[in-house]
Amino acid sequence: MFFEYIRANKLECSRCLNCALHTSAQYHIYYFAKGTGEFFFMGNYEDITANRLFYIIPGTPYSIKCFEPDVKCFHVAFQINANGPDFIWKYPLFTVPAVEKRKDLENIFIRLSVASLVENTALAERIIERLFECIDYSTQSYSIDLATRNFGRELKNIPKHTHIDEYQIDFFKSGSGLILINDKWISYADGSLCFIPPSIPHEIIFNKDCNIDNYSIKCKVLKHKNIKIPASGFALQLNTQYASMIQKIMMNIAGEFIMGETIDDGLLDQLFSIISMVNNDTDNQEKSSIVDSAVDYIKTKYGDKDLRLINISDALDVSPEHLSRVFHSQTGITLSTYITKCRLNHGLLMLKNSDLPIKEIADKCGFSNVSYFASQIKKFYKMTPKEIRNSSQRTVNR
């Protein structure tokens, strides 16, 4: 047998459930069919309402506070031996069971309570495996811990914190404020999307002088799919098309969550896909902006003999490694190659359109050595500086 013991019962009095923050050496499952309150675990307060299931593993700090004396909660506590079964989940969970599985879930808890009462451990083990199959069906690919719309009420500022394994997604239909992601403060306004992956420190400040209309979702990704979810947090203002899509999906998710209905994985798939698209578009825009700034800087500083990667990155306030990588990925050539080409293009124009000595042209174009300037001209244009100048003069004389 895999289990050292299994205890299951139905609790209908909040005094039997309420407990201060503590840890347990056992596994616990709490399924609330009736009642309201707060369940604290994994650093978050989760609402207790009908059809909410909490799964606690040994060593997880948690507390329970029911707001009403009458509740209906199915509770299972068990302990496994060293060779415990594979179907036991290894991490805590909060989920809303699928509508079509709720009746089955209650029946399983009742059968488990009877097996526990008569101390039929073999039967209880078979039933508890069925219980985990039912929970696994309900969680599917995602576990949504919160999905709501905050509208028409004052929101309290959220102090700095992190989520162990939750993604937090906030869309502001209206409202403004500041959000701290890691160590960077970012402003948000109407149409802004804020995306916080797990383990990212964040803090949110709401502007009290404006009306906040906000959709907020916290969820875990339990079964990874072929969707590239951004690893870094961000906050940015969406264009009209993206804003409309994000709002519609989050509104549907929040509505189904509040009604206690099963939320289709497809909605979360769509949401994360759009978030990935938004992040990619923003990333490409930022990369293009960095490259454009680097090009503008080089065009004005090409005559500086000390012009190199480190000077340009300092001027643009980016790391040399990032600038080098982005420039090459966007243009297909290295930054040093572009600097050389820019200098040679200006040198070519001076050779064709001025009578300046070749040495002076080389100096004005940032070359400290006229021989190197001449060799590069020959390499890129297949002609020496003198041949280019002579060719230009013959063209003019004609």
Domains annotated for the chain, with CATH where assigned, are 3-139 (2.60.120.280), 144-283 (2.60.120.280), 302-398 (1.10.10.60)
Single out the residue of 187, 181, 222, 223 nearest to residue 202, CA to CA. Answer: 181
Over its length of 398 residues, how does the chain's per-residue pLDDT go in tens digits? 788 889 999 999 999 999 999 999 999 999 999 999 999 987 778 889 898 999 999 999 999 999 999 999 999 999 998 887 888 888 888 888 877 788 999 999 999 999 999 889 889 999 999 998 888 776 656 778 889 999 888 888 999 898 878 899 999 999 999 999 988 898 999 999 999 999 899 999 998 888 899 999 998 886 656 677 888 899 988 889 889 999 999 999 999 888 877 787 788 888 998 998 888 776 666 667 788 889 989 999 999 999 999 989 998 888 888 889 888 888 888 999 999 999 999 999 999 888 899 999 999 999 989 999 999 999 888 889 998 888 766 544 44
Helix/strand/coil for 320: helix
Distance CA 282, CA 89 (A): 37
Residue 235: its H or E element = strand 234-237
On the CB side of 316, CA atoms within 13 Å amount to 27
Query: Residue 398: its pLDDT value, please?
Result: 44
Pick from 166, 149, 156, 153: nearest CA to 216: 149
In the DSSP assignment, the letter for residue 165 is S
pLDDT, position 397: 46
How confident is the model at residue 83, as a pLDDT?
80
| Alpha-carbon gap, residue 216 to 274, rounded angstroms | 16
**Contact in structure between 34 and 68 (CB atoms under 8 Å):** no
Closest by alpha carbon to 359, among 346, 378, 373, 349? 373
Pairing type for strands 158-161 and 202-206 reads: antiparallel
Q: What is the CA radius of gyration of the chain?
A: 32
Mark out the alpha helices in the chain (DSSP H runs).
102-117, 121-139, 240-258, 265-301, 309-316, 320-331, 335-353, 358-364, 370-381, 385-397
Question: Which pLDDT value is given to residue 285?
Answer: 65
Closest C-alpha among 265, 263, 257, 253 to residue 50: 257
Which CA distances in Å does 309 have to 174, 299, 303, 321?
Answer: 42, 14, 15, 9
Instruction: Please give the single-letter amino acid code of residue 219.
Output: C
Q: Give, as one character, the DSSP assignment of residue 141.
A: T
* Secondary structure letter of residue 16 according to DSSP: G
- Sheet with 142-151, strands from edge to edge, namely 142-151, 213-221, 167-174, 192-196, 234-237
The full DSSP string for 360-380 is: HHHHHTT-S-HHHHHHHHHHH
The answer to whether 103 and 74 are in contact (CB under 8 A) is no
pTM above 0.85, yes or no: no
pLDDT of residue 396: 45
Q: How far apart are the first and last CA of the chain?
A: 102
**Contact status, residue 93 vs residue 33, Cβ threshold 8 Å:** no
Q: Angle 385-397/370-381 helices, nearest 10 degrees?
A: 60
Q: How many other CB atoms are there within 10 angstroms of residue 306's CB atom?
A: 9
Token representation of residue 253: 């998710």
Do residues 58 and 24 touch, judged by C-beta distance below 8 A? yes
From the list 324, 254, 243, the residue with the least C-alpha distance to 291 is 324
